[in-house]
């Protein structure tokens, strides 16, 4: 049984139907990417899975149980965390407060354990817990948004355009982090316009056009498809995701996220 299964899902805003008869599955431990141009429906799909939008028709099954009528908080409790497009961290709040909000649907007793997990991935956050999130750069805020999503101990992480508005140097780091999350057993649905980079780390992909899936398959097949190459692979470069690259990630994240702190540490 797939971890998540969408069957014939249609979603709209008022009378404007955006997603039409979408069938999609997520198997445990996969990175699956959603590709498509602006407005193709990727964010709408992520919102439908996390519960911010309700489908007009169709079923969404989590571990075989229908969830399409459940409110977002209940879906979060069951293991679906959404890191929305544009990050939407609370700029006036501290790192600690942002992380705490991500944990609101989980048991208080789990918080310390989750903080330890997040600090393992982002060691510098431990030292920056009292800093105001709004002072961070775009890439740093994206990392914090992902860390916040991880506080609920998700089975599934929905990442909507994590590379958007992030400096090129940090984009590769974010993609390597996503690979590391998969190694931790988290299943990932990654909406991306940066098709080449997304396919270079994903197991499978779905291509959306005007709210419909027009192509789906293993990432290797999509990368080799002339159709995809012509329309979506014009820009960007693949991300190097070797084991050693992954192992060095924590240290590099520190450097890239908080260069001043690293320099101070070296002084
Ligand atoms: P992007 O990366 O630009 O967000 P996307 O593939 O995620 O693109 P969606 O944001 O899901 O696309 O948008 C799909 C369609 O739904 C677009 O035509 C968009 O104009 C429309 N749409 C999105 N949000 C709303 C809304 N709140 N009300 C009405 N229409 C909307």
Measured between alpha carbons, how far is 186 from 152 in angstroms, rounded to an integer?
A: 12
Distance 46 CA to ligand 1 centre (A): 11
Which residue out of 33, 41, 46, 165 has the highest number of ligand 1 atoms within 8 Å of its CB and is therefore the one to mutate?
A: 41
Residue 161 Cα: closest atom of ligand 1: 2
Give the predicted TM-score (pTM) of the model: 0.86
Question: What is the structure's pLDDT at 254?
Answer: 47
Distance 3 CA to ligand 1 centre (A): 26
- The CATH homologous superfamily for domain 4-64+71-191+224-266 is P-loop containing nucleotide triphosphate hydrolases (3.40.50.300)
Measured between alpha carbons, how far is 267 from 259 in angstroms, rounded to an integer?
A: 12
Greatest Cα pair distance, the chain, in angstroms, is 60
In sequence order, which residues have a C-beta less than 8 Å from that of residue 105 and are 6 or more positions away?
A: 73, 76, 77, 152
Closest CA to 30 of 235, 206, 254, 214: 206
Question: What is the structure's pLDDT at 234?
Answer: 67
Residues with CB under 6 A from ligand 1: 13, 16, 18, 36, 38-44, 85, 161
Measured between alpha carbons, how far is 219 from 223 in angstroms, rounded to an integer?
A: 6
Please say whether the beta carbons of 253 and 171 come within 8 A: no
User: Where in the chain are the domains?
Assistant: 4-64+71-191+224-266
Distance 218 CA to ligand 1 centre (A): 26
Q: List the pLDDT tens digit at each of the 267 positions of the chain.
A: 999 999 999 999 988 889 999 999 999 999 999 999 888 999 999 999 999 999 999 999 999 999 999 999 999 999 999 999 887 888 899 999 999 988 877 777 778 888 999 999 988 888 899 999 999 888 889 999 999 999 999 999 999 999 998 888 889 989 999 999 999 999 999 999 889 899 999 999 999 999 999 999 999 999 988 888 888 876 444 555 544 444 444 444 445 444 554 444 443
Question: What is the structure's pLDDT at 89?
Answer: 87
Distance 131 CA to ligand 1 centre (A): 33
Which residue out of 17, 35, 43 has the highest number of ligand 1 atoms within 8 Å of its CB and is therefore the one to mutate?
A: 43
Provide the 8-state DSSP code for 20.
Answer: E
């Amino acid at each position: 049984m797939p971890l998540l299964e969408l069957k014939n899902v249609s979603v709209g805003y008022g009378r404007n139907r955006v997603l039409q008869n979408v069938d999609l599955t997520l198997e445990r431990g996969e990175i699956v990417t959603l590709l498509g141009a602006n407005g193709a429906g990727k964010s709408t799909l992520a919102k439908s899975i996390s519960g911010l939008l309700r489908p007009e028709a169709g079923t969404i099954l989590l571990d075989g149980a229908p969830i399409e009528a459940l409110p977002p908080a209940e879906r979060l409790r069951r293991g679906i965390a959404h890191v929305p497009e544009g990050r939407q961290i609370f700029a006036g709040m501290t790192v600690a407060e942002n992380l705490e909000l991500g944990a609101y649907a989980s048991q208080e007793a789990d918080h310390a354990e989750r903080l330890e997990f997040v600090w393992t991935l982002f060691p510098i956050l431990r030292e920056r817990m009292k800093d105001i999130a709004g002072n961070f750069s775009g890439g740093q805020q994206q990392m914090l948004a992902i860390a916040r999503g991880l506080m609920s101990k998700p089975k599934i992480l929905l990442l909507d355009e994590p590379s958007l508005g992030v400096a090129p140097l940090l984009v590769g780091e974010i993609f390597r982090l996503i690979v590391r999350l998969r190694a931790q057993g988290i299943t990932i649905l990654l909406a991306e316009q940066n098709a080449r980079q997304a396919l270079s780390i994903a197991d499978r992909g779905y291509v959306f056009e005007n709210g419909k899936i027009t192509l789906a398959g293993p990432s290797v097949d999509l990368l080799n498809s002339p159709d995809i190459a012509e329309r979506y692979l014009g820009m960007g470069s693949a991300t190097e995701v070797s084991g050693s690259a992954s192992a060095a990630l924590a240290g590099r994240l520190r450097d890239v996220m908080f260069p001043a702190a690293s320099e101070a540490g070296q002084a």
